[in-house]
Amino acid sequence: MSILIKTADEIEKMRVAGKLAAEVLEMIVPHVVEGVTTNELNELCHDYMVNVQHTIPAPLNYRGFPKSICTSVNQQVCHGIPNDKKLKKGDIINIDITVIKDGYHGDTSKMFCIGDVTPFAKKLITVTREALFLGIEQIKPGNTFGDIGYAIQKHAHANRYSVVREFCGHGVGKDFHEEPHVMHYGKAGTGEAFKAGMIFTIEPMLNMGKRQVKVLGDKWTAITKDRSLSAQWEHTILVTDTGYEILTLRAEEL
């Protein structure tokens, strides 16, 4: 495993990219409502990234992905392709944003509820976000990547949710996906130790049912095999000398 350590200049560029990615999620909040299509959300985000921020939407044409954002609804785990189907009351949706600014990537995602959602859907969303932050809190001197996965898995299982294993967090910088693979399950104390200057995403996907997923015929959209609900949250994290810095933190999280 060869994890890139970012220079001070690269870290500053990553801070800018992370902040811009967070701003796209903040911008789209009032538009994620009953009756909107995920294509319309894609168009709003694309226009904001390209014409307001002067950033590049990283997913667009990445390995053939046809849109500028990922929108994963209900049983869709990740990599959902925006389409013309309208969101309806009770839906839950993950919106995943990655922008490129001055050659560097900022990557983040957030869950949204459409109108009133069921209590069990709300709980899944809440526990998944808690798992993300429990994973982030493991980043400190002396700890390892296995500590992230262990903390996330422990919290998920304590709440009787399963952890998706087919997809994971990843290093990020000049490239959309770099080393390491950041697993959301694992054994405490295993894997490489954290070093200041590492930058990677943590993006746990928890399912209400079993952990198994399958990819649809579009070759992108992953869904739960048992059609149970799935939730995901994501942040881009910088390892510092004393712990961590969340590069994609939104104003609502301060």
CATH code for the domain of 145: 3.90.230.10
What is the span of the domain harbouring residue 115? 8-253
Q: Is residue 153 part of a domain?
A: yes
User: Tens of pLDDT along 235-246?
Assistant: 999 999 999 999
Q: Is residue 1 part of a domain?
A: no
- State residue 212's pLDDT score: 98
Which secondary-structure segment (H or E) carries 213?
Answer: strand 213-215
Q: Is residue 172 part of a domain?
A: yes
**Region 35-39 average pLDDT:** 98
> Does the pTM exceed 0.95?
yes
- State residue 1's pLDDT score: 55
Report the chain's mean pLDDT, rounded to a whole number. 98
- State residue 37's pLDDT score: 98
Residue 183's pLDDT band (boundaries 50, 70, 90)?
Answer: very high
Q: Is residue 227 part of a domain?
A: yes
Q: What does the DSSP 8-state code read for residue 49?
A: I
Q: Is residue 171 part of a domain?
A: yes
**Region 200-225 average pLDDT:** 98
Residue with tokens 């942040």: 235
Q: Is residue 3 part of a domain?
A: no
User: Tens of pLDDT along 141-155?
Assistant: 999 999 999 999 999
- Closest Cα partner for 39 from 5, 75, 69, 7? 69
How many structural domains compose the chain? 1
Per-residue pLDDT at 65 exceeds 60: yes
- Closest Cα partner for 245 from 35, 3, 63, 22? 22
Per-residue pLDDT at 125 exceeds 60: yes
Residue 48's pLDDT band (boundaries 50, 70, 90)?
Answer: very high
